């Protein structure tokens, strides 16, 4: 049994196991925690083969799933430098979310834990899928538990918020489904590796118009998910009202689904379409960076503020991807991980604030540093990471993106840099109003982080420092995978004929599958 099978199916097994657990006891928590921790430990084993394999996919599984005359679909999954860290981010953050949920979710905890496991199953599937059909399946599978978590445990306006979240995403993803089916009618395969091989060897030639349509189909789904301005309107409502662990996961990992999809599928399958559309996507990304930052500046609610800052930070990822440069792509992947950890930590700490005060309005706080110095310190570190202070994680990602943008088109970098400045402004201002000053009566007796709370925060802080100060541990597989990916984006575009003898794209290593 391949390692990836274990990593994928453990959460699902935990889910089924949980269904039979008694409702009112601690056991659902322990089962979920155990399942997610074991999943994390197994996922660590994915690192070595992925690093050793360069740009090739490792830990591949590829059995036949659906077979009938005229339609064969393989359950093709694999790991390379781009999705490796995303999978690990998912498997690492899930136990933390479970740990925090035990404190933060008092109503029907068993149901919540079951949904968390289902969510993990869906996300690992999304990040590792190498077959477009399988990718779409997991894409929606990850959506359902998140929808139920947002709706079932939201603070206010449960139904409308969750439905908005779902219908927005669904409206985007049906276009992707149309594109996937269309691609199948053109290439006869759903398999990403096969499609890239067919394109690379010239068996399949997609015209610029076809590529444009395909690109727009995929883009609709991914742009909603990232979200790219002006499709972001679902985000503030969802982030603000969702229960803290769900917001944590939404911001930290689920927002990466869209960016990952853009990088992995949009620009490789339809590079001509991507190059053409970059001319308006990059302005949108830059508008998102600045617009998100400006709106964050005036938010009275901490969660909403972090939500808008998230739009701003993810604009960098999109910008990095559409520079089509090595630094830009590396920066985009690095920023995905960094943003996952720093924004995740901010939302987690916001959750702890919420548990203590019962509110997220900045006006309800003030002087929190006096009763809770530990919480204030942790928040400060996460905040500096998010702003992009050198030696913490976001700096690397944003710097690389800006460098990639500057090399391609200098003015892009200038505009995007405004976002960095603004992020310092809104974050520090929020911090000042929340934590500094004289402790108000209502917050004076609030408790500091307990040892139990620290346990969930410390790993994130360590990772912020590690990612920010020693990129060598993470960067090599990312670079080799993105280099390969950028090579693919130069195939199958209008200039394809000028290339001498395109190289065969990928030979998937199949470990005891089939």
Partner 1 sequence: MLGNFQPHAGDYVRFLPEILLTAFGIVIMMLEAVSSEKNKLRLGVLSLIGIIAAFFANFWSYSESGPAFQNMIVVDGYGVFFRGLVLIVGFLCVLTSFSYLEREHAQSGEYYALILFSLVGQCVLATSSDLIMVFIGLEISSIATYVLAGFLRDDRRNNESALKYFLLGSFATAFLLYGIAWTYGLIGSTNLEEIRRVLDQGQRPTVLAGLAAGLMFVGFGFKVSIAPFQMWAPDVYQGAAAPVSAFMSTGPKAAAFAVFFRVFMTSFHAINGRWLWLVWGCALASMIIGNFAALVQSNVKRLLGYSSIAHAGYVLVALTAASQIGVAAAMFYLAAYAVMNIGAFAVVSHIAARNERHVKIDDLAGLGRREPATAALLAIFVFSLIGVPLTGGFFAKFYIFQAALNSHLVWLTVLGLVNSAIAAYYYLKIVVAIYMREPSPATEQLPAPSASFRVAIWASALGVLFLGIFPSAVLSFASASASALR
Residue 174 in the binding site for partner 1 (CB under 8 A): yes
Q: How far apart are alpha carbons 318 and 316 in whole angstroms?
A: 5
> Is residue 363 near partner 1 by the rule CB under 8 A?
no
User: Footprint of partner 1 on residues 469-498 (CB under 8 A)?
Assistant: none
Ramachandran category for residue 60: left, alpha or beta (phi over 0 → left; psi -120 to 50 → alpha): beta
In the complex, least distance from residue 191 CB atom to partner 1, rounded to whole angstroms: 16
Q: 159, 438, 441, 514: which one contacts partner 1 (CB under 8 A)?
A: 159
Whole-Å CA distances, 235 to 137, 304, 306, 401, 434 = 23, 9, 11, 24, 23
Distances in Å between the Cα of 152 and the Cα atoms of 127, 160, 161, 446 are: 26, 11, 10, 28
Number of chain residues interacting with partner 1 (CB under 8 A): 37
- The token duo for 502 is 């395109």
Select from 85-93, 175-183, 351-359, 432-440 the region that touches partner 1 (CB under 8 A).
175-183
Residue from 154, 259, 293, 318 binding partner 1 (CB under 8 A): 154
Token output for 71: 């339609």
Task: Give the nearest distance from C-beta 24 to partner 1 in angstroms.
Answer: 13
Q: Are 459 and 33 in contact (CB under 8 A)?
A: no
458: buried, middle or exposed (CB in 10 Å: 19+, 13-18, 0-12)? exposed
- Which residue's CB is nearer to partner 1, number 67 or number 438? 67
Site stretch for partner 1 (CB under 8 A), options 160-168, 241-249, 278-286, 311-319: 160-168
Give the shortest CB-214-to-partner 1 separation in angstroms: 12
Closest separation between CB of residue 46 and partner 1, Å? 24
* 166 vs 384, beta carbon nearer partner 1: 166
Smallest separation, CB 14 to partner 1 (Å): 17
Task: Yes or no: say if 77 and 60 are a contact pair by the CB < 8 Å rule.
Answer: yes
3-state secondary structure of 297: helix
Q: Which of 158/357 has CB closer to partner 1?
A: 158
Cα(75)–Cα(510) distance, integer angstroms = 12
412 exposure class (CB count in 10 Å sphere: 0-12, 13-18, 19+): buried
Choose which of 54, 152, 208, 371 interacts with partner 1 (CB under 8 A): 152
Residue 121 as a binder of partner 1 (CB under 8 A): the answer is no
Q: Rounded CA gap, 496 and 499, in Å?
A: 6
By CB under 8 A, tell whether 182 contacts partner 1. yes
Site string for partner 1, 432-471 (x = CB under 8 A): ----------------------------------------
What is the nearest approach in angstroms of partner 1 to the Cβ of residue 70? 6
Per CB under 8 A, 355 contacts partner 1: no
137 binds partner 1 (CB under 8 A): yes
In angstroms, the CA 296 to CA 425 distance is 10
Choose which of 17, 30, 42, 184 interacts with partner 1 (CB under 8 A): 184
Which of 41, 44, 48, 163 lies at the binding interface for partner 1 (CB under 8 A)? 163
Residue closer to partner 1, measured from CB, 81 or 258? 258
**Nearer of residues 222 and 316 to partner 1, judged by Cβ:** 222
Q: Name the residue with tokens 């594109």.
A: 179
Residues 14-73 that bind partner 1 (CB under 8 A): 66-71
Buried residues in 143-165 as b, exposed as e (16+ CB within 10 A): bebbbbbbbbbbbeeeeebbebb
Between 111 and 471, CB nearer to partner 1:
111
- Counting other chains too, the contacts that 373-377 makes at CB distance below 8 Å and 24 or more residues apart are 373/448, 374/448, 374/449, 374/454, 375/349, 375/448, 375/449, 376/435
Contact region with partner 1 (CB under 8 A), list: 174-182, 343-351, 409-417, 447-455: 174-182
- Integer angstrom CA distances of residue 52 from 46, 58, 228, 317, 477: 10, 9, 34, 26, 8
Residues 75-114 that bind partner 1 (CB under 8 A): 108, 111
Q: Look at residues 358, 392, 361 and name the one whose alpha carbon lies nearest to residue 460.
A: 392
- Any contact of residue 136 with partner 1 (CB under 8 A)? yes
| Contacts to partner 1 by CB under 8 A | 66-71, 108, 111, 136-141, 143-144, 148, 151-152, 154, 158-159, 162-163, 166-167, 170-171, 173-175, 177-178, 181-182, 184-185
């Amino acid at each position: 049994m391949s390692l990836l099978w274990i990593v994928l199916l453990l959460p699902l097994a935990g889910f089924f196991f949980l269904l039979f657990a008694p409702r009112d006891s601690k056991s659902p928590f322990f089962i979920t925690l155990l399942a997610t921790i074991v999943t994390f430990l197994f996922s660590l084993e994915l690192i070595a083969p992925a690093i050793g394999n360069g740009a090739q996919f490792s830990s591949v599984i590829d059995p036949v799933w659906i077979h009938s005359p005229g339609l064969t679909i393989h359950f093709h999954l694999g790991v390379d430098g781009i999705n490796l860290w995303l999978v690990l981010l998912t498997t690492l953050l899930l136990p933390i979310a479970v740990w925090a949920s035990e404190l933060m979710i008092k109503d029907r905890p068993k149901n919540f834990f079951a949904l968390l496991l289902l969510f993990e199953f869906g996300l690992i599937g999304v990040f590792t899928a190498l077959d477009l059909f399988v990718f779409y399946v997991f894409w929606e599978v990850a959506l359902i538990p998140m929808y139920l978590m947002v709706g079932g445990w939201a603070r206010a306006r449960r139904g409308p918020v969750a439905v908005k979240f779902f219908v927005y995403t669904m409206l985007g993803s049906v276009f992707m489904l149309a594109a996937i089916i269309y691609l199948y009618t053109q290439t006869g395969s759903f398999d990403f590796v096969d499609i890239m091989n067919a394109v690379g060897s010239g068996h399949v030639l997609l015209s610029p118009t076809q590529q444009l349509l395909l690109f727009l189909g995929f883009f609709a789904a991914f742009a909603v998910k990232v979200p790219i301005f002006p499709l972001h309107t679902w985000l503030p409502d969802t982030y603000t009202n969702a229960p803290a662990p769900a917001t944590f996961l939404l911001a930290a990992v689920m927002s990466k689904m869209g960016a990952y999809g853009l990088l992995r599928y949009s620009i490789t399958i339809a590079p001509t379409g991507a190059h053409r559309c970059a001319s308006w996507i990059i302005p949108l990304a830059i508008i998102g960076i600045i617009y998100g930052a400006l709106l964050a500046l005036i938010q009275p609610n901490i969660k909403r503020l972090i939500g808008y800052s998230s739009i701003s930070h993810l604009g960098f990822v999109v910008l990095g991807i559409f520079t089509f440069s090595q630094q830009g792509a590396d920066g985009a992947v690095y920023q995905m991980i960094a943003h996952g950890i720093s924004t995740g930590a901010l939302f987690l700490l916001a959750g702890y604030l919420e548990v203590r005060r019962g509110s997220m309005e900045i006006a309800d706080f003030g002087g929190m540093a006096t009763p809770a110095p530990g919480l204030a310190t942790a928040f400060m570190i996460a905040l500096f990471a998010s702003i992009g202070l050198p030696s913490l994680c976001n700096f690397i990602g944003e710097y690389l993106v800006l460098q990639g943008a500057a090399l391609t088109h200098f003015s892009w970098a200038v505009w995007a840099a405004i976002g960095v400045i603004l992020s310092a402004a809104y974050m520090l201002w929020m911090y000042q109003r929340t934590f500094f000053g004289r402790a108000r009566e209502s917050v004076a007796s609030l408790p500091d982080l307990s040892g139990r709370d620290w346990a969930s925060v410390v790993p994130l802080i360590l990772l912020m420092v590690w990612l920010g100060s020693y990129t060598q541990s993470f960067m090599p597989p990312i670079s080799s995978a993105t280099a390969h990916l950028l090579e693919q984006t130069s195939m199958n575009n209008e200039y394809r004929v000028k290339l001498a003898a395109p190289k065969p794209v990928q030979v998937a290593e199949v470990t005891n599958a089939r």
